Amino acid sequence: MDETTLDAYFARLAVPRPHTADAVNLHVLHRAHQMTVPFENLSIHLGEPIVLAEHDLMHKIVHRRRGGFCYELNGAMAILLETMGAQVRRVAARVYGDGHTGPPFDHMALVVQGTDASGPWLIDVGFGSHSVYPLLYDSRHEQDDPAGRFLLVDTADGDVDVLKDGQPQYRIEPRERSLADFGPTCWWQATSPASHFTRSTICSRLTKDGRVSISGRTLITTEGGARTETELADDAAVLAAYREHFGIVLDQVPQDLFPPPHAPGSPAPGSPAPGSPAPGSPAPGSPAVGSPAVGSLAVGSPAVGSQAVGSPAVGSPAVGSPAVGSPAVGPPVSGPPATESPVSAAPPVSAAPRLALRLPSPRRPSPLLPSLRPLSPRRLSPRLPIRRSPGPPPRSPRLLPPRFPGPWLPGARLPARTGPRRRPRFPGRPPFPMPPRPPSPAARSLPGRSARSIMNRGPTGWVPRSG
């Protein structure tokens, strides 16, 4: 951080520039930061990116005079204290909610050692409603603060629980972290529907007598323990409240990224009250739209006393039933006479004669059923002719050398072979030339016998015959 940005940061906090980061100045900066830089998540609902880099944090908090949540506020505070010469250790914490802790890296806090060797101090300016002044990190006794009574308790696994008025707030992991380690969880907090930061907007800061906050479209003011809630009527009132109480100038009202679902049994916004008719529905006791009036006939229904279209006349036999006085078809039916109407007394569908429909063979198409003919590719696309590969273009014999026209042309001959020919190989003869017959001492000692009779031809030369 350069000197210009450092002076602008202290001007943003409305405090004179201190020379050292001792215990007194740490207390002053801790309170001033919470009173001037609000805890807010408006960037999430305005579609603004959240980048945990030094340049982006300084530009948003110092130059744009905006706020942020824990990663941004404590991240910028750590850079400020390191520039002043303090030893800063960034630690991760898991926030308590619904009786259990949240995910790892759910929150970021600072453990700071002052330049006067005081502390270490637990500094947290990004938790919303927290301690006004720093807390002694190594102390395990109750520490009184204007915001309440705080207590730090060691856990069995080496972590530290922070309690406010007996209620656990978050659990600190003592291991030192870097600001880049909180990047994945920061992205999850800003984009996940399960994160409470994406469900509603919040903007809050510390005041001299209490705290002022805007949650959604409700202005909440706490002074001297008295809480006052005021509903903001329209968008102009919401933008004016951001500008008046926090110094934040916006062009539009932030909209909830993932609004919470409505409670079961409560009507949704814009829905009619329970028991009242829906918009556009008829009043109680009036006929519904499209239904016939009382005493009137429905459209398409036969008039009273008239016969339905296609129904037999009164007194006439039913269609398909035997005429009056004619003998019944089939054997007589025993038992009591039937009391059903002629329509219900008709034979079932299964008793009716079945008509066999014989479809023509696909090999012999019928002119009556042209759709059953096998379709050829030319019928599927009659306008597009079938293209066939023409193959390689023919070569002209004029472009070839005259002595070797090519074996694909009639009358072509291969050129005569030049050079020495290889000697053909015969069975039983070695492929290398045989050395001359060596003089045999046995031939010299045995007169009258030749060397051929006492020598054998072997694979490597002439060898004496054995036996």
By annotation, the residues acting in catalysis are 70, 107, 124
Q: Tokens at residue 421, please?
A: 């020919």
Per residue, the 3-state secondary structure of the chain, as one string, reads: CCHHHHHHHHHHHCCCCCCCCCHHHHHHHHHHHHHHCCEECHHHHHCCCCCCCHHHHHHHHHHCCCCECHHHHHHHHHHHHHHCCCEEEEEEEEEEECCEECCCCCEEEEEEECCCCCCCEEECCCCCCCCCCCEECCCCCCEEECCEEEEEEECCCCCEEEEECCEEEEEEEEEEECHHHHHHHHHHHHHCCCCCCCCCCEEEEECCCEEEEEECCEEEEEECCEEEEEECCCHHHHHHHHHHHCCCCCCCCCCCCCCCCCCCCCCCCCCCCCCCCCCCCCCCCCCCCCCCCCCCCCCCCCCCCCCCCCCCCCCCCCCCCCCCCCCCCCCCCCCCCCCCCCCCCCCCHHHCCCCCCCCCCCCCCCCCCHHHCCCCHHHHCCCCCCCCCCCCCCCCHHHCCCCCCCCCCCCCCCCCCCCCCCCCCCCCCCCCCCCCCCCCHHHHHCCCCCHHHHEEECCCCEEECCC
Residue 20 is which amino acid?
T
The sign one gets for the Cα dihedral 204, 99, 71, 258 is negative
Contact indicator for 32, 15 with CB cutoff of 8 Å = yes
